[in-house]
Structure 1
Amino acid sequence: MTDTLFDYFTAGELPTPTLPTEEAVALLRDVHGLDAELGSLGSQQDQNFLVRPRGAGEPLGVLKISNPVFSETEIEMQDAAAAAVARAEPGLRIPEIVAGPRGPLTGWWETSQGRLHARVISFVPGSTLTGSGYLPPRTVERLGELAAAVSVALAGETHPAAGRVLQWDLQHAERVIAEIAATEPDAEVRDYCAAATAAALAALHPVAAALPRQLGHFDVTDDNVLRPHGVGTLPDAVIDFGDVIESWAVGEIAVTVSSVLHHDGASYASTLPAIAAFDRRRPLSDDEITALWPLVVLRGVVLVLSGRQQVRLDDANDYASGALDREFEILRRAIAVPVEVATARIRHALGRPSADAAAWEGASILPDGIHPVVLDATTLSPLSDEGAWLEPDALDAAARRLLDDGADAVVLPALVPTLLGAPSRTPEEPATVPTAASVWFAAPTRLKLSDGALSMRVGDGIPTSSPEVPARTRVRVLLTTLDPAEVPDAVRPSDLPGWRAVIGDATPALGVTVPEPAADDLLERREAVVAEVQEHYYSRPPRIERGWREYLVGVDGRVYLDMVNNVASVGHAHPRIHAAVSRQTRLLNTNSRFHYAAITEYGERLAATLPDELDTVFFVNSGSEAVDLAIRLGMAATGRTDVVAMAEAYHGWTYASDAVSTSIADNPHALETRPDWVHTVEAANSYRGRHRGPDAARYAPEAVERIRALAAEGHAPAAFLSETFYGNAGGVALPDGYLREVYAAVRDLGGLAIADEVQVGFGRLGSWFWGFRQQGVVPDIVAVAKSIGAGFPLGAVITRREIADRYRTQGYFFSSTGGSPLSSVVGTTVLDIIEDEGLQENARVVGGHLKARLEELGERHPLVGTVHGAGLYLGLEFVRDRDTLQPATEETAAICDRLLELGVVMQPTGDHQNVLKIKPPLCVSRESVDYFADMLDRVLSTGF
């Protein structure tokens, strides 16, 4: 090793030092007086060991034996840069030289491999982001923040060794690539890299001379940041200053974002949070924005070629060989869109001006006399009704129908998200925005083509310049500044701001003008006008404007699998409900004091699903009202005011139903604000409660003892109220015989038994139509809603005639729309659908299959505590420890967010918000629940 600065282009090969571990141990002892144990760590060009003082548990640091090609001045520069960042950013954890028994652990060693420089750098506890697991947006953003912090800290620093030449310096990428490519034996790899390099350099060369330079780390990557151990922590440490140089400042963030690209589900758009965070701290100039993505591409090429070269030189270097696949993935994803598109998307994300490609301004290319009809293929289009969008040829079929109806031409506008033909169950955002305008003609047509600005493709064939197009065949007309071969038929909606820079709207060329979409400020308007406490799912929710069966559809054409929506019991947008509502609103809708058939017929049908003694029905609008009325019935029938409810349950938002709700997840103050007429028994949770497993049989006698003690104190209950399955905890079944014992005790004391079936009733359990059937009991009063209206505001209370009659002592009962003609017709139709379509049996079969899939996940993923429930009323409980049952609350929230990215709507439940509430529409298919289980497996395997 000399004081000559390293120059990659004259250094030749760089095999790593391979000092035997035993020799390194001896040298640490003999030179520095440190008796230590060493564990080998990976490195591209140096040799690294984890150092533990002999007999001690905690690591002391990392022994770094530098490649002999690097000078002492360069090594000193690395340490000085680390110290500069530590001074400027005291909140960051930065490694430093460790002091040993004889002073700082740094210096020269005379070894069997010659003279080597070795130093021990302090151990920074935590974990890196190494591997290709999923990185959530906030973690990606944090990478950008760290890169900016380092860049700002080093911006004013200089060093004599700053001019050294490294192969990783993106200033020299063009030359590095040329030299390594010449040694690459695989022609396919050479050609792939050459094409990527040429496109990147074409964008980079015009701005390269204007790019500012500075000292930088230039390796703030997933491998070189650390986060504290714990759930949801963010990186707060930067390590490995081995690549410190003076180079283009924008290279700092280019290197950082390239390291994001190999992670699960990542794309160029996944890096935007990091770029935006960097720009907030260290603003990027216009030239730097132009250079950024070309540098990411060049970084990918260098990684691929140099990694392959290193393996050829040193086939025993497991670190280098293990990185080959992820390095190729970085390059593959970096060039997944043209450089121009990525750059425009970055500008849009940073709020910087970016000119869109101009729309067609010439004359229509259609023959005179043809007046096209616009094909509306959007989410809101009636053409997508009743699942028509699911057909694989949905677009062509819709166009042909319009032609059959007399249109001489049909035009699908360009650059507008479409639903017709969009896929369902997609783990990535699908490409639903057509880049070209499309036209179908009723007869063979000759177009008026005047120049080459537009490109055309007929059907699924190759592009054509012929003005003759066949009848009833899709013709795509594209307006772009790129080679048309680089433009896909459709792009993702989130990518549209990037593609608009290179694709103009060709729709006017087909005689159609589509107005520019208005800014989407709907969420902000909602939050401004709707009470904050009336929350919405997710912090930035997709805008959902259509549903069908078990699917929900966004305005961007993204189809989500709805695994949480028990309100839409028979499926979204059921055509029989639509037909019934349409017909009834043409006939009559008024309040239930009028005499009409629907209320009687529905009351009879509903009562027929219950035991004979439950023969009298009250109709209301919601589950909260149903529970509220059930409590009032109990009070009126017994002349008492005390009610006993199970703890940790949720029953509604009205005064009475809220009073008996003791779930702190729904109301953090539920326990201290409970009125004195409400009493609780312990939550009979056989998994998480005080009594678990077989011991759960103790809950019932303890509840009986509690109720009898209340009676002895003068608080004999009017009623005992509970769900028949412990719903708020995630569908936990009550212990066998629990309700039989408790109901008997309550009745012995003159009280009534109220079953809250709002969530669990109406066939959701599969094996039982009503939850109380599973317990082998008959309640005195049943409250139900949600499923019975399938999204329509409908609830009911069913009881015995004598109990209902006692309510007269409270006055009369009236609900304006409860039991109205429309409500009653909807309720009857829901019962018909459940019966005719076998939805209870579907809940049993498909739900059983899903539960088995979820239980299998529990065998492989320790985070899964257990699977609750039956049928399509399931709960997947996540715990950090299966012995202590520490709830995995933060993990559950993150899992739900990741599932949304993968196209699944899911939400947490339970007092600890650590249970997935799995209650999809009863029509959910086996294929859909398999997709849900597969995506959950992916999340648990790759991270969240």
Structure 2
Amino acid sequence: MGLPSVDWLVRPIAPVDEADALALLGERYGVRGGLQALGSQQDRNYRVRTDTADHVLKVTNPAVDPSALRLQCTAIEQLAAALPELRLPKPRPGVDGDPLQWLTADGSKLACLLLDFVPGEPIMDSRYLAPAVVARLGSIAGRVAAGLSTLAAPAVDRPRLWDLRNALTVVETLAPHLRDQIGAQRVLRAARAAHALLEPYAEGLATQLIHGDLTDNNVVCETAPDGRPMPVGVIDFGDLGLGWTVAELAVTCTSVLHHHGAGPASVLPAVRAFHEERPLGDDELEVLWPLVVLRSAVLVVSGQYDVLLDPDNDYASDALEREWTMLEVATSVPAQVMTAQLRHALDRASTRERPAAGARLIPTLPEHVHALDLSVFADALHTGLWQSPNAEHDLVREELSATQGVHTRHGEFRMTRTRVDGKGPAETCALGVELYVTEPLEVRAPWAGTISRDTDRVVTLRQDDGPDLILDGLDTGTLTPGPVEPGQLLGTIADFDGLHVLGVQLSHLTGARPPRFAAPELADGWLRVCPDPTALLLPKTPEHQMSEEELLTRRNDAFATVQEHYYEEPPRIERGWRQYLVDTRARGYLDMLNNVTILGHGHPVLSDAVHRQWQRLNTNSRFHYASVVELSERLAQLLPAELDTVFLVNSGSEAVDLALRLAWATTGRQDVVAVEEAYHGWTYASDAVSTSVADNPGALESRPPWVHTVAAPNSYRGRHRGEEARNYGPEAAARIAALAAEGHAPAAFLCEPYYGNAGGMALPDGYLEQVYAATRAVGGLCIADEVQVGYGRLGTHFWGFEQQGVVPDVVTVAKAMGNGHPLGAVITRREIADAYRTQGYFFSSAGGSPVSSVVGLTVLDIMRDENLQANALEIGGYLKRRLVELGERHPLIGTVHGCGLYLGVEFVRDRMSLEPATEETAAICERLRELGVVMQPTSDRQCVLKIKPPLCLTRDSADVFVAALDDVLTYGW
């Protein structure tokens, strides 16, 4: 095979004798130590370990001009002064004061530098990069570009392989010599197309000295508290030289694309961060993505060529797969779309957002054409109808029965195209519209242009200056391709499955047909390239679509921010169905968190029952009606016979507050014993006995003197672990006895009978039996807080206290009882309830109202009819087994707590010390959201995944959750 003779492209470096390198170190730099070879495509790099410090010996390729090495030293010194917080490989002077020294190898005289070793680890493998990490890469690139902007360029600008001004030349020179010519032609086509988009702007782009290779492999990172690799330094200035400033960012962006889960939109945090440090001009935005394509093309051809020259170069060989990945991702979306997306990300207007004006496509279109709502707000898509493959056509047929025409909406994120259960984000954003009519109406050209037939019933009308018009569903009859005039008949709307439907789309893409739908992460770019064609069909009233960011700002302005929201960038959730949630971009999520909606979201039986009752009556429980009686009876029947009297309230906080007041009224005293690390509510009394520092950092210090605590009976990380956890019960019993002896006999002992706030773990066997006995021995009442754990969630038992084999005096319940409706209850014995008379009367406005009572009854009916407790047992058991298996492969998983669908995965940094992985857990939850799973941390250490999904969870959904968690723990967060 003939090889190209362009010397500046590549030249293999001669083998270097390590003895010669050691001699050079001692004689020229006064350094003695051991050598460790480091990878490089074209140089020889060694880590030098000495007793006092580590260095890097760089033996450069003979193609490198020595003046370039001196320039690298100057650049590093300038950046060190401008960016003192950035770790840099500062050059070490030789014994003669010159950092540049020489070594002869195989007859070649090779220039050498000895640099400070920069501590940290690169992120060259293909693990996932979080947006925060990508943003830091972009920020460093911007700061380096700004820091080098004042450094004088060399008098002679020699051509360099990695200078993107030479990218097309490099690709065209090397591609013909590669073994894989099919792949080489793909690279050539991509490079030439990108260069054509770049060329009109090339002469006007800003140039300066740039690092030229500021990639994931050339930054060093420290592990942040959340476990993410956070860049803190820059290494390898071997590609320093004159280049386009925007090329610095393009190189950084390209390196992001090979990482796990990365797509074109993954670079946006880097672009925003670079722009903050060194603002990007309009022309630079126009060329950024073409430069990303060119950079990836150069990587592919140069990497393959390096292996061709030096088959033993493992560094180059190992990079081949990720270099191809970068090119494939870079070319997976048209560059014009990414340019539009970049403009949107930086809030830059585009000159090509408005379609050309034209006449109406269908002059005889009926006056009343109804807009079909297929969004997450569509009332017609309730009860899961959006999951039907025929949902759109079924709705159209229903609408056409009452009107003459129906059209869909441009830019709408259609819930009918939402995917769930781990299938990834769907292409939900409509890039055109469909018109449905009852007869084959004529379609005429809105402007002059050239018509072409793409496929059967699909034609494109092109014009010289303006977007293409694509018509799908046109019966063109005898129309021949070629020029057409405004108003010329193009055909009639064809019949499709009994419907006359015409798809209409505009596109600024040249020579390519856009998709009909776009994924949410690139929708803004696609919508700029494919503007709204609705005005070609009928008058369109301008409407403002409020962004998620605008709504979040309004929330923060009007809604007390102490009422926090989930996630750093919360999706706007406006629809739920069973175990799924859907945001306004029609992204589906698996809800593994919502223990309130025990039946699942949007249950039709419950919504119908509420609707009927609201139409009939809603008052309060002082009136006499049947539903409040029936609900009270049903609740009492679910409990031991002695718990026969019910109070209905509107929340768990109110239930716990009332339970405490009952104890005070019954015993005539106020002291209460509560368990540490527990949460019980937000009213005065329920907050006073809440000891979780996660919910209130000052909980232990601020509780009133009548609240006394006993140790959290945590058998995993508490004072007593494993078999020793049996000591918690006697210790708590002794504490209660001691309080009584001190004159503070408790009115009540309050505890979740399954330890919820800590992550969903069983209490030690016999714990409640011992503590309840001690409490009753001093005249106190035993309160079981079942707000989280009750109502069948445990699978094995309907109530948590049943798992302990005890009967409490008072039971509190809420959350699941109303499936999201504000409903709770306190169930106790008649004499305890009657004791409250000494305090006056009790009343809860919403508690026990007709609507609330019907909600409570219907929830119980559905749980029975759909056998949800049994499902919690079966699916929960299956899910726990799979999570335990994950723990065998991922050391971050310390243990898996819980039973049924009340589980907790506890993350630890070390399984011996049990150091909580708090920051990692928060980051893992963020990554799970990106993968379509809603999850949040719990426990005082916030290191446990709170796994409390609706009880309708399926085995498939359990598998989706486990797969997502496995992905995160395998590839990073």
* Normalised TM-score (structure 1): 0.95
Q: State yes or no: 1:198 paired with 2:225.
A: no
Letter in 1 for 2:471: M
Letter in 1 for 2:336: E
Deviations 1:407-444 (A, max 9, x none): 44332122211111321135643221111211234344
Q: State yes or no: 1:396 paired with 2:393.
A: yes
**Partner residue of 1:372 out of 366, 369, 372:** 369
1:165 is matched with which residue?
159
Deviations 1:132-179 (A, max 9, x none): 111111111111111111111111112547612211101111211111
In structure 2, distance between residues paired with 1:265 and 1:161:
43
In structure 2, relative to structure 1, the CA distance for the partners of 1:128 and 1:23 (3 Å cut) is: same
Letter in 1 for 2:301: L
Q: State yes or no: 1:500 paired with 2:494.
A: no
1:188 is matched with which residue?
182
In structure 2, distance between residues paired with 1:37 and 1:139:
33
1:867 to partner: Cα distance: 0.7
2:273 is matched with which residue?
277
In structure 2, distance between residues paired with 1:112 and 1:197:
37
In structure 1, distance between residues paired with 2:107 and 2:921:
52
1:519 is matched with which residue?
546
In structure 2, relative to structure 1, the CA distance for the partners of 1:103 and 1:778 (3 Å cut) is: farther
Q: Which moved more, 1:331-340 or 1:916-925?
A: 331-340
1:519 to partner: Cα distance: 3.2
1:687 is matched with which residue?
716
1:467 is matched with which residue?
492
**Partner residue of 1:539 out of 557, 563, 568:** 568
Q: State yes or no: 1:865 paired with 2:862.
A: no
Q: State yes or no: 1:454 paired with 2:469.
A: yes
Q: State yes or no: 1:345 paired with 2:341.
A: yes
Letter in 2 for 1:579: D
**Partner residue of 2:824 out of 769, 773, 795:** 795
1:3 is matched with which residue?
none
2:464 is matched with which residue?
none
2:434 is matched with which residue?
438
1:103 to partner: Cα distance: 7.4
- In the alignment, is the contact (CA less than 8 A) between 1:865 and 1:879 conserved in 2? yes
In structure 2, distance between residues paired with 1:419 and 1:257:
32
In structure 2, relative to structure 1, the CA distance for the partners of 1:218 and 1:800 (3 Å cut) is: same
- In the alignment, is the contact (CA less than 8 A) between 1:8 and 1:167 conserved in 2? no
Mapping 1:668-817, distance limit 5 Å: 668-817=697-846
Structure 2: which 5+ residue stretches go unaligned? 448-460, 462-467, 482-489
- In the alignment, is the contact (CA less than 8 A) between 1:147 and 1:278 conserved in 2? yes
1:286 is matched with which residue?
282
1:137 is matched with which residue?
131
1:907 to partner: Cα distance: 0.8
1:335 to partner: Cα distance: 1.8
**Partner residue of 1:384 out of 355, 362, 381:** 381
- In the alignment, is the contact (CA less than 8 A) between 2:818 and 2:859 conserved in 1? yes
1:561 to partner: Cα distance: 1.0
Mapping 1:405-424, distance limit 5 Å: 405-424=401-420
- In the alignment, is the contact (CA less than 8 A) between 1:162 and 1:244 conserved in 2? no
1:688 to partner: Cα distance: 1.1
Q: State yes or no: 1:667 paired with 2:696.
A: yes
1:306 is matched with which residue?
302
1:705 to partner: Cα distance: 1.0
In structure 1, distance between residues paired with 2:353 and 2:153:
45
Deviations 1:116-141 (A, max 9, x none): 33333111111112111111111111
Letter in 2 for 1:19: V
1:667 to partner: Cα distance: 0.3
1:71 to partner: Cα distance: 2.8
In structure 1, distance between residues paired with 2:637 and 2:96:
90
In structure 2, relative to structure 1, the CA distance for the partners of 1:9 and 1:516 (3 Å cut) is: farther
1:771 to partner: Cα distance: 0.5
In structure 2, relative to structure 1, the CA distance for the partners of 1:35 and 1:10 (3 Å cut) is: closer
1:104 to partner: Cα distance: 7.5
In structure 2, relative to structure 1, the CA distance for the partners of 1:282 and 1:32 (3 Å cut) is: closer
- In the alignment, is the contact (CA less than 8 A) between 2:296 and 2:330 conserved in 1? yes
In structure 2, distance between residues paired with 1:916 and 1:585:
38
Letter in 1 for 2:531: G
In structure 2, relative to structure 1, the CA distance for the partners of 1:496 and 1:860 (3 Å cut) is: same
Structure 1: which 5+ residue stretches go unaligned? 1-6
Q: Which moved more, 1:487-496 or 1:652-661?
A: 487-496
Deviations 1:6-57 (A, max 9, x none): x99334642244325455445545665544222221111111122222xx5x
Q: Secondary structure at the match of 1:876?
A: strand
Mapping 1:146-295, distance limit 5 Å: 146-160=140-154, 163-232=157-226, 234-295=230-291
Mapping 1:85-96, distance limit 5 Å: 85-96=79-90
In structure 2, distance between residues paired with 1:721 and 1:284:
61
2:591 is matched with which residue?
562
Letter in 1 for 2:115: I
- In the alignment, is the contact (CA less than 8 A) between 1:762 and 1:769 conserved in 2? yes
Q: State yes or no: 1:72 paired with 2:49.
A: no
1:377 to partner: Cα distance: 0.5
Deviations 1:747-778 (A, max 9, x none): 11111110000000000001111001111111
In structure 2, relative to structure 1, the CA distance for the partners of 1:484 and 1:643 (3 Å cut) is: farther
Q: State yes or no: 1:931 paired with 2:956.
A: no
Letter in 1 for 2:599: V
Deviations 1:568-607 (A, max 9, x none): 1101111111111011112111110111110111111111
1:741 to partner: Cα distance: 0.7
- In the alignment, is the contact (CA less than 8 A) between 2:787 and 2:814 conserved in 1? yes
Letter in 2 for 1:938: D
Q: Secondary structure at the match of 2:114?
A: strand
In structure 2, distance between residues paired with 1:667 and 1:694:
31
In structure 2, distance between residues paired with 1:199 and 1:268:
17
2:515 is matched with which residue?
488
- In the alignment, is the contact (CA less than 8 A) between 1:379 and 1:557 conserved in 2? yes
1:674 to partner: Cα distance: 0.7
Q: Secondary structure at the match of 1:228?
A: strand
Give the fraction of aligned pairs with identical amino acids, expressed as a percent.
Answer: 52
Deviations 1:49-107 (A, max 9, x none): 22222xx5x86122222112223222222222111111111111111124689977752
1:112 to partner: Cα distance: 4.5
Q: State yes or no: 1:845 paired with 2:874.
A: yes
- In the alignment, is the contact (CA less than 8 A) between 1:893 and 1:908 conserved in 2? yes
**Partner residue of 2:320 out of 318, 324, 330:** 324
In structure 1, distance between residues paired with 2:173 and 2:315:
23
In structure 2, distance between residues paired with 1:151 and 1:329:
26
- In the alignment, is the contact (CA less than 8 A) between 1:38 and 1:49 conserved in 2? yes
Give the number of equivalent residue pairs.
Answer: 933
* Normalised TM-score (structure 2): 0.92
In structure 2, distance between residues paired with 1:101 and 1:30:
8
Deviations 1:257-304 (A, max 9, x none): 111111122222221221122122212222222221111111011111
In structure 2, distance between residues paired with 1:542 and 1:624:
28
Q: Secondary structure at the match of 2:642?
A: coil
Deviations 1:774-816 (A, max 9, x none): 1111111000100000000000000111111111111111111
In structure 1, distance between residues paired with 2:393 and 2:140:
50
Deviations 1:518-539 (A, max 9, x none): 3332111111111121111123
Q: Secondary structure at the match of 1:515?
A: coil
Q: State yes or no: 1:941 paired with 2:970.
A: yes
1:726 to partner: Cα distance: 1.0
Q: Secondary structure at the match of 2:231?
A: coil
1:672 to partner: Cα distance: 0.8
1:4 is matched with which residue?
none
- In the alignment, is the contact (CA less than 8 A) between 1:427 and 1:935 conserved in 2? no
Q: Which moved more, 1:698-707 or 1:188-197?
A: 188-197
In structure 2, relative to structure 1, the CA distance for the partners of 1:830 and 1:356 (3 Å cut) is: farther
Q: Which moved more, 1:162-171 or 1:564-573?
A: 162-171
- In the alignment, is the contact (CA less than 8 A) between 1:660 and 1:678 conserved in 2? yes
Letter in 1 for 2:140: L
